[in-house]
Amino acid sequence: MIPPVAGAGIAAGAPASAGAGSAPAGLPATVAADGLAPAAGLGPPAAAAAESRRPARASDRAPQAARIAVLGASGYAGQEFARLALAHPGLQLAALCSREQAGRPACELLPGVDPRVDPLPPVLDPEALEERLAAGAFDTLVCCLPHGAWKQLAAERPALADGPARVVDLSSDFRDGRVPAAGGWDYVYGLPEAFRLEIPAATRVANPGCYPTAAALALLPAAEWIAGPVMVSALSGVSGAGRAPQLRTSFVELDGGAALYRAGTEHAHVPEMERTLARLAGRPVPVGFAPQLAPMARGILLTATAPLARPVSPGEARDAYLARYEGEPFVRVLAAGTWPETRAVRSSNRCDVAVTTLHGGTTLLAAAALDNLVKGAAGQAVQNLNLMLGWPEEWGLPTHGTPW
Ligand SMILES: NC(=O)c1ccc[n+]([C@@H]2O[C@H](COP(=O)([O-])OP(=O)(O)OC[C@H]3O[C@@H](n4cnc5c(N)ncnc54)[C@H](OP(=O)(O)O)[C@@H]3O)[C@@H](O)[C@H]2O)c1
């Protein structure tokens, strides 16, 4: 079940959690929640058919649209965020920031975007972005910078950290969330399925990592049964390593094989997984992690095993997962005997999970698949923004994957 959204500033008349196809308050009736008008014949008269095929433009959007600047817009996560924002009924791209690409047309930065559909924002360097903030051009900052870079930029340019009404940071800089971050800001850990009620009141959100999101969703319903160390093993697509060229992620090094890296407790995501599991279980849960690079562009396929405090049958485990995730728009519990695959969730904000138990019910085996760039990064950032803005959580987010 999705708990009710506390303190949400939902536009008058908008449902607390509308279905994916419902139009939000403030939008013309012909504009659906995916930002596209309904198909001809389903709603508007024939005379309006041409108009109905036109995707939503900024002028169609909700009057309370959030105006977004994207830091690191030339990277994989930044580009995916921009793609999702352009199709979102309430998010308006106001600026893209890149040090290397500043001044170039945005359509060169975003090769998948058709510039005829929406007016694209300028591509600015961080200094010009700060000036645009001072001029009131945007109210929401989405940081898609490598780890450490946002913390450093926030210290160098405090106006960028303090000025926006909302900041969502996709790096790990503020995911520990306990100590108020630079400028006195407290970042809330934005994993809606686990900590949804904390997000609507937040103005600063630390978006979880891709592996930790998959691990948390694979284990969340079982957290209280876990009696010892959790072993997590995961395949990742290469976009998870970012866009900067590296020998390890070049085609020749990857093609035709898969490779373990930083196995054990070395990977930076281990403490994040342990923090989340400790919050869910109410006690420390040690994690061992075996991440693997797979020759695919995107996707995470994760399995987790753990000893259980009491015997749990496979049916009981699956029923608990079904009950915990009932009504969750972006988590699907697969049928018994069916296991997640990356292609089914590719380009979607969905995480598929499956669970069983072994050894007389004393060992948990859970699995999850998600798209590292969507539910593992940009899609989850949109989900968090929807909650922060009091909008339906599913707004503008794809539930269906593109397997081929
Ligand atoms: N990729 C994923 O699957 C994924 C999943 C979850 C979370 N994340 C997190 O999201 C963030 C972005 O990841 P990504 O994969 O999109 O990385 P990326 O492809 O390497 O892109 C990062 C962008 O940030 C800019 N940048 C680099 N260093 C900078 C600095 N010191 N100051 C300002 N800008 C800088 C670069 O653009 P310019 O050089 O043009 O400025 C670059 O295009 C990372 O923290 C990552 O851990 C990524």
Residues with Cβ within 8 Å of residue 277, at least 6 apart in sequence: 215, 216, 219, 223, 226, 230, 285, 287
Q: Does 249 sit in the ligand 1 pocket, CB within 6 Å?
A: no
Check residue 183 and give its pLDDT: 64
Q: Which CATH class, in words, describes the domain spanning 211-372?
A: alpha beta
CA distance between the termini of the chain: 31
Q: Is 35 left (phi over 0), alpha (psi -120 to 50) or beta?
A: left
User: Judging by beta carbons within 10 Å of its beta carbon (0-12, 13-18, 19+), is residue 396 exposed, middle or buried?
Assistant: buried
Q: Does 237 sit in the ligand 1 pocket, CB within 6 Å?
A: no
Atom of ligand 1 nearest to the CA of 78: 16
Check residue 317 and give its pLDDT: 98
Check residue 107 and give its pLDDT: 93
- Does 211-372 match 46-209+377-388 at the fold level? no
The single-letter code of the amino acid at 253 is E
Q: How many CB atoms lie within 10 A of CB 357?
A: 22
Handedness of CA 17, 19, 25, 31 (dihedral sign): positive
Check residue 181 and give its pLDDT: 62
Q: Does 377 sit in the ligand 1 pocket, CB within 6 Å?
A: yes
Q: For ligand 1, atom 32, which residue shows the shortest CA distance?
A: 149
Atom of ligand 1 nearest to the CA of 207: 7
Report the separation in Å between the CA atom of 75 and the middle of ligand 1, taken as the mean of its atom positions. Answer: 5
For the chain, give every domain's residue range.
Answer: 46-209+377-388, 211-372
Atom of ligand 1 nearest to the CA of 143: 11
Q: Does 245 sit in the ligand 1 pocket, CB within 6 Å?
A: no
Check residue 178 and give its pLDDT: 57
Pocket test for ligand 1, best of 97, 99, 345 (most atoms within 8 A of CB): 99
Residue 210 appears among annotated catalytic residues: yes
Report the separation in Å between the CA atom of 105 and the middle of ligand 1, taken as the mean of its atom positions. Answer: 20
Q: Does 145 sit in the ligand 1 pocket, CB within 6 Å?
A: yes
pTM: 0.86
Task: Give me the CATH topology for the region 46-209+377-388.
Answer: Rossmann fold (3.40.50)
Pocket test for ligand 1, best of 144, 347, 380 (most atoms within 8 A of CB): 144
Atom of ligand 1 nearest to the CA of 147: 45
pLDDT < 70 stretches in the chain: 1-63, 177-183
Pocket test for ligand 1, best of 70, 76, 239, 249 (most atoms within 8 A of CB): 76
How far apart are the C-alpha atoms of 221 and 223, rounded to whole Å? Answer: 6
Secondary structure of 250-309 as H, E, C letters:
CHHHHCCCCEECCCECCCCHHHHHHHHHHHHHCCCCCEEEEEEECCCCCCEEEEEEEEEC
Q: How many CB atoms lie within 10 A of CB 44?
A: 16
Atom of ligand 1 nearest to the CA of 236: 3
